[in-house]
Amino acid sequence: MSTQTARRSADILIVDDNPGDVRLTVEALNDGGMQNSLHTARDGAEAIAFLRRQGKYGHAPRPDLILLDLDMPRMGGLQVLAEIKEDRALKDIPVVILTGSHDIEDIVKTYNLHANCYVTKPIDLEQFIRLVKSITNFWLTIVNRRRRTAN
Amino acid sequence: MSQMLEMNQQTAKPEAMADESKQSKELFRALFYRSPIGTYIVQNGQFRLVNRQLAYISGYEEDELIGRPSLGFVLAEDRDIVRENALRMLKGECSLGYEFRIVTKQAKIKWVMETVAPVLYQRKRATLGSLIDVTERKLVEERLRQSTLETQRSNAELEQFAYVISHDLQEPLRMVSSYTQLLAKRYRNKLDADADEFISYAVEGAKRMQTLLHELLEYSRVGTRGKPFSLVNCEHVVDQAMANLKIAIEECGAMVSYDVLPTVLGDEGQLVRLFQNLIGNAIKFRREEPLQVLISAQRRQHVVTFSVQDNGIGIDPQHSQSVFEIFRRLHTTEEYPGTGMGLAICKKIVERHGGHISVQSQPGKGSTFYFTINMAGGESA
């Protein structure tokens, strides 16, 4: 219960190369008036730099949740996922695969790489908004996790 | 012909009849020289005796062949085949009907099929060979092989193409669809009535295109993402299909029943989809009266013919072929929603299982879909 009452503004990292998708996710995240700090990475390499606070990301916060697309240039989502889950400092950050693909092969691969869950973006906007809300609600308020500031 | 007449004249004479040796010689001559098969005797690697048909096949005169090395006519790359078979013959093994290429006097390459047997000729070991020209057959075989390969290649390419476009078009379409919906959500009643109408058409169009692409993707996946065949109990398959349609079946109060259904060799997921589409089709195109669907199967040798019979609105016989084409619809979206892909997917699944699908219908009374599938297991052998 304390996690819910102590709910601070969360840092969410959106990793997606399509600005239209990023904006849509941002719109969905802001829809209910939830005030989270949203960060974006345009591809896998940027995401890894952000998470490891490299280069211009020297002061980047540690995200509470990562929303990861699969199909990206330079470094794809599967590789980003593998790097996160192999990194002792990052592996406990929940990674939600949020992608346009229904491909069963992608689904199997991501779970084998320890994705926390795999979600296909629905075509319908209202469904998408509901989906994003339930993802953030689940990972940021329902689930018991070690939280830096709350503890 | 002249030799035949000669023989008849000889057999007519009683004194000649006694000479059995002479008669068999004549018989041999007639068989040998008149045979429509190229026939020859080879001794020490050279032609000793040849008939007219061999001369015809090789393009040489008969006397040009005598004394020539027989291997000399064989295309260099194929000489080992001929040598191997000669050795096999010497060991008393089978050396029948092997094929190789020869070069004719006119430098044409012909395919021939040869059989050899050891004989004695003038009291010495020799080989009796017979040979037929199979060039035409080989050409037809090669053409058939090429066109089969070509068809397989172009089918695979087409499937891949359908897969890629339907997959890759989804992303941009999702953008169009999401943002028109966002426009509608945020600006409805804030612009004028025209704007609201335009936005609603854009939203509907994008949604519909999404459904079409999804179905096209399903269609292409029948070929590209099919599972290996295993033994599948068709009663379980129909149960699964009915479970997937549970709500629709309950809503319209349909009676779906099936006879004893066999086990077949197939892709279970695809067979569920097949029955689901056919039953779903019956539900969609039902009449006012309660819907009845009966599924049965009849087995003849290795082939099972399934039938899915309904008492729905039926299909005009002139459309009984075209209903299986992709995106084929016989009704407007307002009358019956849908993409026109359901039966095309059925056809593709049935064809992947080596069968074919058809429909017989009486408009206003009902339709019966028939499809065939090869029977599995040893019991059908």
Give me the pLDDT at residue A8, please: 64
Domain match, B177 and B166 both: yes
Give the residue from B210, B208, B206 showing the smallest Cα distance to B332. B208
Residues 6+ apart with CB under 8 A from B152: none
Instruction: Please state, in angstroms and rounded to a whole number, the distance separating the CA atoms of residues B281 and B216.
Output: 18
SS3 state of residue B362: strand
A125, A127, A130: best mutation site toward chain B, by most B Cβ within 10 Å? A125
In percent, how much of chain A has pLDDT > 70? 90
- B103 and B193 together in one domain: no
The domain tally of chain B equals: 3
Tell me how long chain A is: 151
**Inter-chain contact A125–B207, Cβ cutoff 8 Å?**
no
Same domain, B218 and B156: yes
Ordered by start, the domain boundaries in chain A are 2-138
The complex's ipTM works out to 0.75
Mean pLDDT of chain A: 86
Query: Which helix H or strand E contains A96, and what residues bound it?
Result: strand A95-99
My answer on whether B75 and B124 are in the same domain is yes
Answer for the pair A113, A85: CB distance below 8 angstroms, yes or no: yes
What pLDDT is stored for residue B11 in this prediction?
Answer: 53
- Name, in order, each residue with C-beta under 8 angstroms of B215's C-beta and a sequence gap of 6 or more: B339, B341, B342, B345
Same domain, B232 and B287: yes
Give the 3-state secondary structure of residue B95.
coil
Instruction: Say yes or no: B204 and B263 in one domain.
Output: no
Please report whether residue B11 resides in a domain.
no
Q: What is the mean pLDDT of each run of 10 residues along chain B (381 residues)?
A: 48 62 87 91 94 94 93 93 88 84 94 92 92 94 92 82 78 88 88 88 86 84 84 94 93 91 92 95 91 92 92 89 84 77 92 92 92 62 28
Q: Residue A148 — pLDDT band, cuts 50, 70, 90?
A: low
Last residue of a domain, one of B225, B249, B269: B225
Last residue of a domain, one of B206, B225, B244: B225
Is residue B19, in this structure, part of any structural domain at all? no
pLDDT value of residue A147: 60
Same domain flag for B277 and B353: yes
Q: Strand, coil or helix: what is A64?
A: coil
Instruction: Answer for the pair A146, A92: CB distance below 8 angstroms, yes or no.
Output: yes
Please indicate whether, in this complex, the C-beta atoms of A24 and B207 are within 8 angstroms of each other.
Answer: no
Domain boundary among the residues B78, B103, B133 is at B133
Residues B246 and B266 occupy one common structural domain: yes
- CB neighbour list of residue A77: distance below 8 Å, 6 or more residues apart: A15, A44, A68, A69, A70, A71, A97, A99, A110
Q: Which residues of A touch B224 (CB under 8 A)?
A: none
Give me the pLDDT at residue A15, please: 95
Claim to verify: residue B109 and residue B212 sit in the same structural domain: no
Is residue B168, in this structure, part of any structural domain at all? Answer: yes
| Domain that residue B118 falls in | 35-133
Residue B340 domain flag: yes
Residues of A with Cβ-Cβ distance to B177 under 8 angstroms: 123-125
SS3 of chain A: helix, strand, coil, percent, to 5: 40, 15, 40
Any domain includes B8: no
CATH number at residue B252: 3.30.565.10
Higher local confidence (pLDDT), A4 or B366: B366
Q: Do B257 and B370 share a domain, yes or no?
A: yes
B4 in a structural domain: no
Give yes or no: residues B233 and B380 share one domain: yes
Q: How many Å apart are CA B282 and CA B22, to the nearest integer?
A: 82
User: Per CATH, the architecture of A2-138 is what?
Assistant: 3-Layer(aba) Sandwich (3.40)
Sign for the pseudo-dihedral over CA of A43, A44, A45, A51: positive
pTM assigned to the model: 0.59
| A32 CB within 8 Å of a chain B CB | no
Domain CATH code at residue B50: 3.30.450.20
Specify the 3-state DSSP secondary structure of B377.
coil
Report d(CA A21, CA A100) in Å as an integer: 10
Residue B57: CB atoms within 10 A of its CB come to 19
Mutation for testing the B interface, residue in A101, A123, A127, A131 having most B CBs under 10 Å: A123
Same domain (yes/no): B168, B308: no
- Nearest residue in B to A121, CA atom: B174
Q: Is the CB of residue A31 less than 8 Å away from at least one CB of chain B?
A: no
Residues B338-372 as b or e (16 or more Cβ within 10 Å = b) = bbbbbbbbbbbbbeebebebebebeeeebbbbbbb
The answer to whether A19 faces chain B, any CB pair under 8 Å, is no
Whole-angstrom distance, CA of residue B235 vs CA of residue B305: 14
